Amino acid sequence: MDDFKHLTEAMHDFVTRKGWYAPNSKRPQTPRNLAISLVLEASEILEHFQWGEECADKAALADELADVMLYLLQLASLHDIDLYQAARNKLARNLKREWE
């Protein structure tokens, strides 16, 4: 859990250093913009599997996965959601579910 907290802090530090939290930013970090960016980055993961079942460039895939994770952390943090705990809670609920 401390790793999530430190990563979230590092993400906020990065965004602050880039000036993206500033009111006049060309890349305003609003929840809507973050949600859009999250989906766009997630779709970039698909490119690595577009023509086959295996990923040819794992380093590039890792970068895309990291982008998705950072947007998730930022969106969760801005809404005061402990993403680590939310994931644990969801796993616990899913254990009780049945899929056909």
Question: What backbone phi and psi angles, to 5 degrees, belong to 52?
Answer: 180, 175
Global pTM reads 0.89
pLDDT of residue 70: 97
pLDDT on residue 99: 86
pLDDT for 1: 64
Does pLDDT of 80 surpass 80?
yes
Instruction: Mention the CATH class of domain 2-85.
Output: mainly alpha
List C-alpha distances in Å: 84 to 29, 45, 77, 99: 21, 22, 11, 24
Give domain limits for the chain: 2-85
User: In this predicted model, what pLDDT tens digit does every residue of 17-65 receive, in sequence order?
Assistant: 999 999 999 999 999 999 999 999 999 999 999 999 999 999 999 999 9
Radius of gyration of the chain (CA): 16
